[in-house]
Amino acid sequence: MKSRKPSIPYIIWMVIFTMIPIVMIGFTAFTDSQGNFSLEAFSKAFFYTDVFIHSLWIALLSTAICLLLAYPLAYLITRMKKSSQNTVIMLLMIPMWMNFLLRIYAWVTLLQDNGPIDLALSLLGIHGTYIGNSAAVVLGMVYEYLPFMVLPIYTVMSKIDYSLIEAAQDLGSNNLAVFGKVVAPLSVPGIISGVTMVFVPSASTFLVAQYLGGTDDIMIGDVIDKIFWTDQNTGSAISLILMVFIFVFLIIMNLFGDEEAIA
């Protein structure tokens, strides 16, 4: 139990499958198609600055909404009976077992003009278009990644010692105070890993915006997919920049958290 040996296979694994691929992306990004050193790929990559900004903005919005929805949900789940907790958690996971493209397709059906949502809302006298705009993209992202936000927050919250809460109550705190003084601070690590797990994929995914978005909604993931097959160098350069952006974001966020969180 005191030996470091069991981790050796994984350390070797990390070198081969984590370190080397990153070096290769860097190498490809800094060369041209002939393999000579060149910064051309980066100059081309900066051509897509607008797309970068748009993607990060969409991702930020999606993450914020996910957090707003997930936090109370996670809290409420921890207040349930243990067996019901498991059921609800499983219920959260099941939609993720359905193919993600199909889920997007389902949203297209739901949101389209004269679709179920449109019909229901026009009964209430509200008319509008619900697809083909950035809001629909955000909705799609929230739907895809909501469970990634709930699970880590729930995990952390469910570990909070119940006696702490009782102690706070005994000391005269009302429910709100208990929540603010005890539960919220202790759930920060969960929030941080939840934000990571939602922000990263929603900044980088492709296809979601193509199906739900309007003419302005093109995400950086779509660009990488389009560019990479014809121009690996530029594709790699964009990937590298995206990765740096995300790392910077995570480092900033971690300044607010502690070492328990991811990264």
For residue 47 the two structure tokens come to 């051509």
For other proteins, the closer CB: 113 or 121: 113
Give the phi and the psi of residue 31 in degrees, each rounded to 5. Answer: -125, 170
For residue 49, which of 228, 257, 250, 218 has the smallest C-alpha distance?
A: 218
Query: Does residue 64 bind other proteins (CB under 8 A)?
Result: no
Residue 38, amino acid: S
Shortest distance, position 13 Cβ to other proteins, whole Å = 7
Report how far residue 158's alpha carbon sits from residue 187's, in angstroms, rounded to the nearest whole number. Answer: 9
Interaction pattern, residues 159-178, with other proteins; x per rule: CB under 8 A: ---x----------------
Residues with Cβ within 8 Å of 245's Cβ and at least 6 positions away in sequence, in order, are 52, 56, 203
Shortest distance, position 255 Cβ to other proteins, whole Å = 15
Query: Does residue 201 bind other proteins (CB under 8 A)?
Result: yes
For other proteins, the closer CB: 5 or 126: 5
Centroid of chain to Cα 186 = 21
Shortest distance, position 181 Cβ to other proteins, whole Å = 19
The footprint of other proteins on this chain (CB under 8 A) covers a number of residues equal to: 110
Contact 197, 149 (CB under 8 A): yes
For other proteins, the binding residues in 107-126 under the rule CB under 8 A are 107-110, 112-114, 116
3-state secondary structure of 31: strand
Query: Does residue 36 bind other proteins (CB under 8 A)?
Result: no
Quickly list H helices, the chain. 8-14, 20-29, 40-45, 49-78, 82-93, 100-111, 116-123, 134-159, 162-170, 175-178, 184-186, 188-204, 208-212, 220-228, 232-254
Query: Does residue 9 bind other proteins (CB under 8 A)?
Result: yes
For residue 70 the two structure tokens come to 């997930």
Interaction pattern, residues 66-105, with other proteins; x per rule: CB under 8 A: ---x--xx--xx-xxxxx--xxx-xxxxxxxxxxxxxx-x
Report how far residue 108's alpha carbon sits from residue 131's, in angstroms, rounded to the nearest whole number. Answer: 7
Is 190 exposed, middle or buried (CB count within 10 Å of its CB: 0-12, 13-18, 19+)? buried
Query: Does residue 211 bind other proteins (CB under 8 A)?
Result: yes
Contact range with other proteins by CB under 8 A, out of 60-68, 119-127, 178-186, 197-205: 197-205
Shortest distance, position 111 Cβ to other proteins, whole Å = 10
Among 31, 42, 51, 182, binds other proteins (CB under 8 A): 51
Shortest distance, position 237 Cβ to other proteins, whole Å = 11
Query: Does residue 32 bind other proteins (CB under 8 A)?
Result: no
Shortest distance, position 63 Cβ to other proteins, whole Å = 14
Among 44, 60, 64, 179, binds other proteins (CB under 8 A): 44
Contact range with other proteins by CB under 8 A, out of 60-68, 119-127, 179-187, 232-240: 232-240
